Structure 1
Amino acid sequence: MSIRRAFDYPLYLLVRIIIAVVQAVRIETCVSACRALAWLMFDVVKLRRQLVDENLAQAFPEKSLAERNEIGRGMWVHLLTMVCEIAHAPRKIHSTNWRKYIKLQRGREFVGSLLLARPRVLVTAHFGNFEVAGLMSGMLGISTFTVTRTLDNPYLDEFVLRFRELNWQFILPKNGSANQADTVLKNKGALALLGDQHAGPKGCWVDFFGRPASCHKALALFTLLSDAPMILLYCKRRDKPLHFELGLADIADPQALPKDCTDVKRLTQWYNRVLEDEIRKAPDQYWWLHRRWRDPPQRARAKASLRDAATPTERRDAA
């Protein structure tokens, strides 16, 4: 047994103890502690500080350093609060009281799109509390199949899996689940994915916050090949913890695709643009410590250079 595996169970026990303490404390008290820990992480320990600073500088060049630091510090408050909300949500939010905590934005259109008698591809990002979004889908009577990465720690993976599958949310492993995903869509199911995962040098490179970002081609292919509307969702915190706005950002229906969404590249660029627009409304609720942007291969860099050198008219014609 490797040294790493020897620490898996003690780490799992530590996490369970922390979760138990969080659940025993009022959520408002948890948030006060989160603010103090966020200051420690961002200003003292400076955990992933260089990466966060670089990402924010690239995404918001128009903002001052103080404004970007406020977003970075707020991101840590958000991440820590998100953990507390995940611990409290199953005990606080139920099928009989969810309206007290959740505000549906474009509610009729949102629920109607999820209840279509067709395959559906639900896309969100590392933005807001996407784990609560999964919990809420079950409360709304919508069974989803979520593609996610298996955690390295098997005990933590099983613990997180139990939470995610509380309300008709089924988990498909990110690696090796292509056939299962196809089966879900063939059976007119709902497939849920994060749209801002780095896909490596062979991914589909599109613009995201003004920089090339690699995206998985599968998201667009699921929609284009399976007659599955791509439904872009978000679940962001409102004015206090455990209170969210759950809404429909946009939808691309393959039966009536706009001109800028007719192939993999264009559809991928479209959903990244929609996600970016939502993130800009609450930038402190995005994972800026996430390594979303990495060096593109030479061919992608060359295309980006040509695009940057083109006039606005040429860019529009190329699109």
Structure 2
Amino acid sequence: MDTVLYLIGKLLIRCAQTLPLRAVARLGRCAGVVAYWADRRHRRVAIENLLRAFPDRWTRDDADACAREHFRRLGESYCCALKTAAMPWSELAGHVEFVGVDQIHAWRQAHPTGSMIASIGHFGNFELYGRFNELARGFQCASTYRGLRQPGLNRLMVSLRERSGSKLFERRSEAGALRNAMSSGGLLLGLFADQHAGDRGLPLPFLGRVCSTSPAPALFALRYDAPLFVCVCYRVALASWRIEVNPFIATHVDGAPRPIADIMSDVNRQYEDAIRRDPANWFWVHNRWKPGKHRRVQPAPTDEAESDPAEEPSPLPGRASGLNRG
């Protein structure tokens, strides 16, 4: 079965890469329509999430319309990711705009050996975060991922995502290598923090309801004295995206580290702003507000005995998550 999945995946990637990007985007949107009607479970999750996120503004018809557009965008994003992974920057640059990168360059000039943390989310074509390598010169872009159960398919997806030049660290087996890379400096590490984080997540409000939130971006930023910012990918037209870098989030006040929960609450608020700006652009098919236990809210880590951020749970098992190819 692993070989069959590998061959199917390779065939789909090759087919997508032979077509023009806008044609791939249109096919992806058509696939999204099919998925909307065929995948009843995720359709219901998306509609219920939308109604609970905007209880005073939206009717069920509003939520249904947004969910349909959301599925179309998911199809567009996933199919385009197969194409854009192989596109040289000279061709892709006309489809992607980066905004706010100047602050990264300015910080890099002042801290030539430092590392940075980007808290990213499942907005738009989030696989494009890996293209930071084209603009953030001097940094090694990287992220973590949790390997797929099928070895062949996992190799295929990792190789596809690493074509951007970004480095991937497998969360369960390469935590030590990630720590060494962060300590060496010069890393721009992207971490998804907009999905359910399991029992080890912090209980923080998000769109009006408490949910499990990964503390990993704040933990990394504090442990390695790295600046932290939120980055969002917006869809602006068919097969066109804008990736915006938000201002740095304060990790210290008067020289003292801020509580991790406070830092991640700031991250959540910026995610919320991005969602309200374009609701169909976010990942509504994920059950962000699963019930369950949460970790105890703790102050900032002060030494290596505290929880290891490299071991934080993946928001979407089986996917690379960050400034890599996904």
Q: TM-score range by the shorter chain?
A: 0.7 to 0.9
CA drift at 1:36: 3.0
Normalised by the length of structure 1, the TM-score is 0.82
CA distance in 2, matches of 1:157, 1:257: 45
Larger-Rg structure: 1
Residue 72 of structure 1 and its aligned partner are, at CA, apart by 0.8
Please report how far the alpha carbon of residue 45 of structure 1 lies from its aligned counterpart in structure 2 after TM superposition.
4.4
Match status 1:22 vs 2:20: no
Name the residue aligned to 2:69.
Answer: 74
- SS of residue matched to 1:165: helix
Which structure ranks higher in relative contact order (CA pairs < 8 Å, sequence separation ≥ 6)? 2
Structure 2 CA distance for partners of 1:14 and 1:172, relative to 1, 3 Å: same
Q: Which residue of 1 aligns with 2:223?
A: 225
SS at match of 1:293: coil
Name the residue aligned to 2:321: none
Could you tell me how far apart the structure 2 residues matched to 1:223 and 1:287 are?
A: 25
- Match of 2:201? 203
Whether the aligned pair in 2 keeps the contact of 1:237 and 1:245 (CA below 8 Å) is: yes
What corresponds to 2:263 in structure 1? 267
Q: Equivalents in 1 of 2:234, 2:108: separation in Å?
A: 18
1:124 match: 120
5 Å matches for 1:113-192? 113=107, 116-117=111-112, 118-134=114-130, 136-140=131-135, 141=137, 142-188=139-185, 189-192=187-190
- Correspondences of 1:68-107 after superposition (within 5 Å): 68-94=63-89, 96-107=90-101
Cα separation, 2, equivalents of 1:168 and 1:298: 36
**What is the number of equivalent residue pairs in this alignment?**
290
Structure-2 change in CA distance of 1:292 and 1:130 (3 Å): same
Aligned residue for 1:312?
A: none
TM score, norm. by length of structure 2:
0.80
- Post-superposition offset of 1:201: 2.1
Shift of 1:295: 0.5
What is the CA distance between 1:109 and its match in structure 2? 2.3
1:130–1:31 distance in 2 versus 1, CA, 3 Å: closer
Which of the pair is proportionally richer in helix? 1
Structure 1 residue 56: deviation in Å? Answer: 1.1
Q: CA deviation at 1:238?
A: 1.4
Moved more, 182-191 or 42-51: 42-51
When residues 177 and 208 of structure 1 are mapped into structure 2, their CA distance, relative to the original with a 3 A threshold, is: farther
1:276 aligns with 2:268: no
Contact 2:121–2:194 under 8 Å retained in 1: yes
Q: Structure 1 residues 182, 122: closer, same or farther in 2, change over 3 A?
A: same
Root-mean-square deviation (Å): 2.5
1:169–1:217: structure 2 CA closer, same or farther, 3 Å change rule?
A: same
- Go from structure 1 to structure 2 and tell me whether the alpha carbon gap of 1:156 and 1:54 turns closer, same or farther (over 3 Å shift): same
Amino-acid identity (%): 23
In structure 1, list runs of 5 or more residues that go unmatched.
Answer: 1-6, 301-319
| 3-state DSSP of counterpart to 2:142 | strand
User: How far apart are the structure 2 equivalents of 1:77 and 1:112?
Assistant: 38
Letter in 2 for 1:19: I
Tell me how far 1:247 sits from its aligned partner.
1.5
Quote the offset at 1:44 in angstroms.
4.8
Deviates more, 1:24-33 or 1:57-66: 24-33
Q: Where do 5+ consecutive residues of structure 2 fail to align?
A: 297-326
Q: Deviations over 1:5-59 (max 9, x none)?
A: xx22212211222222222333333333333332222235425122112211111
Given the alignment, which residue of 231, 249, 253 partners 1:252? 249
Structure 1 residues 111 and 130: CA distance shift in structure 2, 3 A: farther
